[in-house]
Chain A
C-alpha cells in the first residue's frame, strides 16, 4: 500500500482509540469508535480479494449497527437524565443498550457470529490489529459504565466462554480458531466486570499480549491452516518448541501468564458468592484448552509428512522482524511470578 495512505490509516486508528480513551462525552466517544471503524476498512480491503471485501462489508455493517445503537442509547440517556457524561449513565435502559452495542463491537456472544468469518477473510496482520487494537476503545467505554444488571453480564460472559470453547473445537483454519479464542477470553473479561473492573483490564492486557504472540507466530510460519503449522518444525525449530507454551498460556495453565487472570477472576467470583458460575467458567476453559492442545499436538508433538525439500528452510534466516514476537512471547510465558506486583498496581 502507498506508505502515505498507510500512515494516514494507522494514524487514524491510533487517533480514534485515543479520542475514545480521552473522552468524557458520549458523542466524542462515539466519534472515536467511528474513526476506528473507518480507518481499518481500507486496511481490511486492501487485497482486492472477494473474501477480503466480504469480510470488510460484514465488519462495517456490524460495527456501524453497534455505533448507531450506542449513539441512540447515549441520546436516550441525555433525554432521560439531561447530561452526556460517560460515567454518569445510570438509567437502566440506556445502560443495557450500550452494553449490548459494545458487546456487538467486540464480538461477545450472542453477538459473536461475525467475528470468525471476518477474521477468516483477512490476512494475519490485519487480523492482529482487529483482535487487539480494536478491542481497546470499546473496553475503555465498558470499564467506565457502571452496569446495573448483573444477570445480563453474567449470561453474556458465560455464553461467550461456552460458545468460544465449543465453536473452536473442530476448526482447521487458524484464524477462526483465534476468533473463537477471542470470544472465550472476552467472556472471561465480562464475567468479572461488575465486581472488579481492574481485573477486567488485567485480563484484557494479558489477552492482548498472548494473542499478539500467537498471531506473530502464525505470521512467521505463514500458516493459515493447521497442516501448514504442522510443518513449521522445519522452518523455525526453536519457535515450534516455544509455541505450545504460548498456546497453553492462552489456555490458562500455570505457571504461564495466562493463568493469572483466570485465577484472579475465579477467586473474585467465589468471594462474591458465585461459585457455580465460577465452576462453569472453569469447565468451559477446558473446551478452549482442547483446541489449543490440538494445535500444540499437530505442531510440536507430531512430525507431519513433508517432502525432502520442506525439511531445509530452517537453515535460511528469516527476513521477518522477530523483535515484537520475542517481547510478546517473553511476556506471555514469564509474567505469572509478578502477580503480586501487577495486582498491587492494578487492583486498588
Chain B
C-alpha cells in the first residue's frame, strides 16, 4: 500500500498492515517469509501426536523425582570436588601415566542403554526402524532394525535409508557439558559382532562456535557376519573430517582432548533387516602406532 493510503487506515488495520510488511513497501523489501516457527509452531517429529496443551499444564511436579535429582547432582558435585584431591580425572598421576587401555562404554546393565540415542530416518518421514536392547546375559548391546531406502514423500528428499546410534554427551553435575579426554590414547578398540554390513563410526569433538558445529570425524567399520566376535582397532589418525556428510579438502587429525560423542551409522542402501552387537567400546594406547595423520593436509606450499 502506498504511504498515502496508510495514513487513512483505521488503527486496527494499521497493525495488520505492519504484519504484512510485504505490502507496505513492495518495491523496496524483497519477498521475505517469516520464520517457519512463527507460522507452524516448533518442529514436530513425524509420528509424535500434536499436543495442544497449555504451557502450565506441561509442568510435571513430582516431589520424589525432584529430591532424587537434587541428590544425584549434589553427589556428582561432591565427587568432582573430592576427585581433585586424588589426581587428574580422579586417578592418581601414576595411574594416569600407566593407563594403556580404557573401556569407555561397557554394556553391562539396562542403565547403560540410557547413554545412547538411537535414531533413523523416521525423523524425516522415512520407513527405517532401529531399536536398541541389551543382548544375551545383559552383557552386550544389540542394535537391530530394518533399513528402508524409500525416500519420504515430501517433495524435497531424494535419498533415504539410515539408522544411527550415538552416545549422549557426558554431563557433569547440574547438566553441565563434560568431554572425554582421550589425549593419552591413540586407538579406538571395539568388540563387535555384525552381520557383514559396512558401518561408519562418527566421532564428534567439541565445536564451540557456529560453522564447525556439524564437523564429524568418520571412519568405516566393516563387520564380518558370523558367530565369532570381531576385535576392531582403529587408530585415531585414520579418522577423516567430514561436514554434514561431505568429506572436506582441508583435513586435520581429530583432537582427542575434547571428544563429545561417538556414533555408529548404517546407510549402505541395502534394504532389509540389520543387527549389530557391541560388547564394549574402549580406547587404547598403541605404542607401535606412530602415524600422526593418514591423509595429507591441504597445504598449498608443503614443506618438503
Contact = CB atoms under 8 A, between A and B. Distances in A.
A225 B183 contact: yes
B88 interface: yes
Counting chain B CB atoms within 10 Å of each CB, the highest count among A49, A53, A171, A306 belongs to A49
A170 B209 contact: no
27 contacts: A2-B301, A48-B250, A50-B215, A51-B205, A51-B206, A53-B209, A53-B212, A54-B207, A54-B208, A54-B212, A170-B83, A170-B87, A171-B88, A172-B89, A172-B181, A172-B183, A172-B184, A173-B183, A173-B257, A226-B93, A227-B96, A305-B98, A305-B100, A307-B287, A307-B288, A309-B287, A309-B288
A47 B209 contact: no
A294 interface: yes
A172 B90 CA distance: 12
B84 interface: yes
Interface string A59-95: 0000000000000000000000000000000000000
A47 B252 CA distance: 9
A31 to B, nearest CB: 27
Contacts of A50: 205, 207, 212, 215
Contacts of A173: 183, 257
B93 A297 contact: yes
A304 interface: yes
B217 to A, nearest CB: 11
Nearest to B255: A51
Nearest to A297: B93
Contacts of A225: 183-184, 257
B106 to A, nearest CB: 23
A169 interface: yes
A225 B181 CA distance: 11
Interface in A117-142: 120
Interface of B: 83-84, 87-89, 93-94, 96-98, 100, 181, 183-184, 205-209, 212, 215, 250, 252, 255, 257-258, 287-288, 290, 301
When A and B form their complex, which 4 residue pairs have the shortest distance between CB atoms, in order from nearest? A307-B287, A50-B212, A170-B88, A54-B208
B290 A304 contact: no
Contacts of B87: 170
Contacts of A227: 96-97, 183-184
A326 to B, nearest CB: 25
Contacts of B252: 47-49
A57 B209 contact: yes
A63 B16 CA distance: 45
Given A54-B209, A309-B288, A169 B215 contact: no
Contacts of B215: 50
Contacts of A304: 97-98
Given A58-B208, A169-B84, A172-B184, 10 more contacts: A47-B252, A49-B255, A51-B255, A170-B84, A170-B88, A172-B88, A172-B89, A302-B97, A307-B287, A309-B288
Contacts of B250: 48
Interface in A247-305: 294, 297-298, 302, 304-305
A29 interface: no
Nearest to B256: A225
A230 interface: yes
A298 B87 CA distance: 13
Counting chain B CB atoms within 10 Å of each CB, the highest count among A50, A53, A170, A230 belongs to A50
A139 to B, nearest CB: 29
